[in-house]
Amino acid sequence: MINLQAQSYKEYPPVIEDFNNDNVLDTLYSFYESGSTFGGTDIKIVNGNSNEVYKFSDFGCYCEMKRIYPVPALLSKPENKPFLSVIQKKLFSEPRKKPDSSLEWIFKGYSSKKKISQNKYFNLIIYPKVDWNTEKIKIPDNYSLVLNNDTLNLLLDEKDSLFHVKDKIAFLSYCGNCHFYNKSSPELVVSDNEYKIYKTSHGIFVKKGDLQKWFLVNDLNLTGSPEKLRWDSVLQVVLIDKYLIIQFSGAPDMFDSIFVGNIETGVLGRLKYPFRRNVEDYEGSLVIGDNIRYSNEEEESFFVNSKDVFKELERLYNTIKK
C-alpha cells in the first residue's frame, strides 16, 4: 500500500509576467509537495486580462518511468497556448518529436498486451513486435513528448477514460535516467555464442552480432513496477537457448513476477505464479536444472518444467500473431 502522507512542502514566490503578450500582467503560482512514494509540482496561472485560472500538476508516483498528464480543455484552446507553453517549460524535460527505442517498446507493448485467465502457466502476454536493428541502443536522458489522439487513448489507464472525450492532447514524461539508477552503464548479465543480454535498472536489451533490440522495459501499467524506481526492477536473468526467464521485482512486497520470453519473436509472458524473494532455500535461484521455481500461497517452493512453459508460450504466440 502506498503511503500518501506528505513529507515535504515548498511554496515558490509568485511570478508576475505578461505570458501571452496582451500588455496585461499575469500571475503564476507554484508549490512542490512530496512523500515517500509520490511527489510533484502544482501550477496555477491567473490570466490578468480575463481572470481565468489555469491549473496543471505533474504530481505522480515514484514507481512510474512513464507518466502521462492530459491537458485540460481550457488550456487546450488556441488562445491559451502561451500559458500552456509556460507550464510545459516549468514542469517537463526537453521535448522530443518521437520516442526512443525503449519507450517505443512500451508503446508497442500496450498495443499488444493481453490478460489471460484459466491458462496453466500464464496470466499476461505481451507481443510488441520489435525488430532487430543495426542502430546502437542509446539510453536517453529524461525527456518529454506531446501525445494526441490514438496514442493518448492507447496509453491512458482505464480509470482515466473520461480524458478520452474531454482532452485531445497530453504531456508524457519519460525517466530515461532511471535506467541508470544504480549503475552508470548497462550490465552484461548473461551470454552464449548467439546472444549477449544486457540489463539496466529497469530494462533488458539483447545483442546478436551487430543486431540489437529492447526485450523488456519497466512500465507500471504494463509490466508492473517496484514502489520506488531506486529499487531495480530487473533482478535475475536466465538464458536458455533462445528464451529468457526474468525475475521482475515487486518490492517492497516479497513476491516478484516471473517473465518468460522468446528473444527472436519478442513475445513475452508473465507466469501466474509469484517468486518469493530473499529465501534461503536453493540459494535464491530462479531456475534449477530444467525447472523454474515459484512459491505457493504457503510460501513453499514448487517447480514447473521450463520446456513445458516454453511450449505453451509458443502456442500462445501462434494464436495471437494471426
**Which grid cell sits at 299?**
510460501
| pLDDT value of residue 3 | 45
More confident residue, 160 or 113: 113
Return the pLDDT at 235.
Answer: 93
pLDDT (tens digit, 9 = 90+) per residue, 189-245? 999 999 999 999 999 999 999 999 999 999 999 999 999 999 999 999 999 999 999
Which helix (DSSP H) or strand (DSSP E) does residue 303 occupy? strand 301-305
Measured between alpha carbons, how far is 258 from 237 in angstroms, rounded to an integer?
10
Contact 204, 244 (CB under 8 A): yes
- Say what the pLDDT of residue 6 is: 52
Report the chain's C-alpha Rg in angstroms: 22
Predicted confidence band of residue 4 (pLDDT cuts 50, 70, 90): very low
Banded pLDDT at 185 (limits 50, 70, 90): confident
Tell me the CA distances in angstroms from 304 to 40, 62, 281, one per residue in order: 43, 34, 16
- Cβ contact 293:275 at 8 Å: yes
Helices (H), the chain: 73-76, 81-91, 101-112, 149-155, 163-166, 306-320
pLDDT at position 278 is: 66
- pLDDT category of residue 320 using cuts at 50, 70 and 90: confident
State yes or no: pLDDT of 159 exceeds 60.
no
